[in-house]
Amino acid sequence: MKNSHSESYAAAGVDVTAGYEAVKRIKPMVESTYIPGVMGTLGGFGGMFAPDMAGMKKPVLVSGTDGVGTKLRLAQLMDKHDTIGIDCVAMCVNDIICGGAAPLFFLDYIACGKNDPVRIAEIVSGITEGCRQSECALVGGETAEHPGLMADDDYDVAGFSVGIVDEEKIIDGKKLAEGDALIGLASTGVHSNGFSLARKVLDVEHADLKSPMAELGGKSLGETLLTPTRIYVKAIKALLKDGVDIHAISHITGGGFYENVPRMMTEGLTARIELNSFPRLPIFDLIQKRGNIPERDMYNTFNMGIGMILAVPAHQAAQALEVLKAAGETVHQIGSVVKGDDGVALV
């Protein structure tokens, strides 16, 4: 690409040489995510991956796509761009693992007003960290300058991931039964959902984002809100490897408990969740207080401290808790599956 440049395109707001500089900066980070199956190198027209399907009777590909959402505004206000890539990966791979599929690879898309190679590298550093945490490879991506459509300092990040699972091992709720135990995996904070509401009630555009706050245990508001989404892939894989029969999984994302928990239930069964079985994180108390938000709306918007919920046979609950703790998760037994048609009941 030594001879690739266009003064006319640069004058219109798109500097292709800045794109080449960004690729040069991110290449070592991208290659650090490579796992067996990656083919080719960064810079090709398509990311190639050869999955190992040995031992699988009927491999099924599972895909997920998502973005970071308006949490990006916090990154811009804090001028901290090296963690939101983790959120982007997490929102995709946490969905994929709900079906029992192990993520294989990830691709990112970054749209920006002006290509700043240093900032792009910071963003991608978070994406590569998310890929390493989820044991998948970053096999490609795209950075696009949008002069006239976006301000110079503005950008958006989205991604796409593909995983694989043997059809007979898909987790789809068909094994759910009355009496199953519900295991909650703790979240790290707001994760990457509900930020339009959080930003509004906390008035982040004018708030002090960097000073320690007693209500947040001495952390600043900006630091708390930017805490990356927890990636649960390794923990779920550890459970499956240990022989825990996971009947259903729900990723608690946008829509909170009321929207996401029923998605893992089957007809005639309801998840009965005991709210006093897990601690609420201080950030949610602050959001509710500042916005005078009804309790139900909080649980219909945020994860409230639980980022993922698993349903397992009651006799395997202790085993599941032990394995998850060994995998580094903070976990709580938060309820059980009961008869009913509500999908979820918070008590």
Domain 7-169 has CATH 3.40.50.720: no
Question: Residue 89: which of 118, 110, 68, 70 has the closest Cα?
Answer: 68
Residue 203: its pLDDT value, please?
96
Chain centroid, CA 337 distance in Å = 26
Residue 9 confidence (pLDDT) above 80 = no
Q: pLDDT per residue over 185-202, tens digit each?
A: 999 999 999 999 999 999
Which pLDDT band, with edges at 50, 70 and 90, does 2 fall under?
low
Q: pLDDT per residue over 196-229, tens digit each?
A: 999 999 999 999 999 999 999 999 999 999 999 9
Which pLDDT band, with edges at 50, 70 and 90, does 314 fall under?
very high
- Domain residues of the chain, as ranges? 7-169, 181-346
Question: Residue 103: which of 180, 181, 159 has the closest Cα?
Answer: 159
**What does the alpha-carbon distance between residue 94 and residue 107 come to, in Å, rounded to a whole number?**
15
At the second CATH level, the architecture of 181-346 is Alpha-Beta Complex (3.90)
Question: Residue 273: which of 186, 187, 333, 347 has the closest Cα?
Answer: 347
For 58-79, what is the mean pLDDT? 96
CB 5 within 8 A of CB 18: no
Residue 3: its pLDDT value, please?
58
**Which residues pair with residue 250 across a beta bridge?**
309
**289: CB partners within 8 A, 6+ apart:** none
φ, ψ at 284 (rounded to 5°): -75, -35
DSSP tag of 28: H
- Residue 268: is it exposed, middle or buried by C-beta count within 10 angstroms (0-12/13-18/19+)? exposed
What's the chain's average pLDDT?
92
Residue 22: its pLDDT value, please?
66
Which pLDDT band, with edges at 50, 70 and 90, does 30 fall under?
confident
**Which residues pair with residue 137 across a beta bridge?**
105
**What does the alpha-carbon distance between residue 33 and residue 104 come to, in Å, rounded to a whole number?**
11
Beginning with the edge strand found earlier in the chain, give each strand of the sheet holding 344-346 in spatial order: 248-251, 306-312, 181-186, 331-339, 269-273, 344-346
Q: Tell me which H or E stretch contains 197.
A: helix 195-202
